[in-house]
Amino acid sequence: MRQTKLFNHRLIKEFQLESTDTPSGRYYVLPDGSKMPSVTTVLGWQKKDSLKEWRLRVGEEEANRISKYAANRGTKVHAVCENYLNNKPDYLDNTDILTQDMFSSIQPILNERVDNIYGIESALYSNHLGLAGRCDCIAEFDERPSIIDFKTSTRLKKKEWIEDYFLQGTAYAMMFYELTGILTKQIVIIIAVEAEEPQVFIEHTKNWMRPLKDRISKYYDSHGN
């Protein structure tokens, strides 16, 4: 399929961070050699018990099937989004029908509301927060510098179900400011939903800073730091 929009890029300096997966979560190796936990590791540690309960309820085999399906679906749609925002004309090559359909549902949003891209799949970290991670997209959304995250789902989401998405976006916004001095005052979550219209959630970064810091403190308190 032909590229239907050419995005303007205002790319900032990229930070090369290596990541490593451990039984306790993902960690990033910083330029000075120190390690920091990923945003998802810090936000997810409190949910381990509920995840275990879910696995017991549905059965290990079914849980593995669902988890693998969701992970593969998300990886494929993310890859197409990344290629499209990078102005690659072959962004849909070698993709399956589901991936094409889910991307096509959010493509008009990208065309109409996203431009002036600062970073795609950007590695970020914050000494202040003690976190690192990789952000899907940093760009102008409705002409406002924003943290943009792409998600996929089998069903429509309610706002109260996805608070961790807003916390994750806020962490990226604070990391990005610490590294570049550029403010991203809003978080944009774009969800491609199977057989449904996509969802777009927009939140103000400042509203989630305190909840984020509380979650980080609980994580480090529980890990003896």
d(CA 166, CA 144): 17
Q: Which tokens belong to 21?
A: 């997966």
Question: Where residue 14 falls among pLDDT bands split at 50, 70, 90?
Answer: confident
Cα angle 127, 12, 118; round to 5: 100
Task: Please give the residue that has the higher pLDDT: either 4 or 121.
Answer: 121
Q: What is the pLDDT of residue 66?
A: 72
Q: What is the pLDDT of residue 21?
A: 86
The mean per-residue pLDDT over the stretch 77-96 comes to 93
Q: What is the pLDDT of residue 32?
A: 85
The mean per-residue pLDDT over the stretch 150-161 comes to 95
Any idea what DSSP says for residue 14? P
The mean per-residue pLDDT over the stretch 15-38 comes to 87
- Three-state DSSP at 158 gives coil
Mean pLDDT in the chain?
A: 90
pTM for the predicted model, two decimal places: 0.92
- Three-state DSSP at 106 gives helix
Question: Where residue 139 falls among pLDDT bands split at 50, 70, 90?
Answer: very high
Task: Please give the residue that has the higher pLDDT: either 17 or 225.
Answer: 17
Q: In this model, does residue 26 exceed pLDDT 80?
A: yes
The mean per-residue pLDDT over the stretch 12-41 comes to 87
Task: Please give the residue that has the higher pLDDT: either 51 or 36.
Answer: 36
Q: In this model, does residue 160 exceed pLDDT 80?
A: yes
Q: What is the pLDDT of residue 56?
A: 72
Q: What is the pLDDT of residue 72?
A: 87
The mean per-residue pLDDT over the stretch 191-218 comes to 95
Q: What is the pLDDT of residue 129?
A: 95
Domains within the chain, CATH numbers bracketed = 25-222 (3.90.320)
Other residues' Cβ atoms within 10 Å of the Cβ of residue 207: 11
The mean per-residue pLDDT over the stretch 83-99 comes to 93
Q: Strands 199-204 and 186-193, how do they pair? A: antiparallel
Share of the chain above pLDDT 90, in %: 69
Other residues' Cβ atoms within 10 Å of the Cβ of residue 114: 22
Which residue in the block uniquely carries the two structure tokens 């936000």?
43
Question: Where residue 214 falls among pLDDT bands split at 50, 70, 90?
Answer: very high
Nearest residue to 123 (alpha-carbon basis) of 136, 111, 110, 113: 136
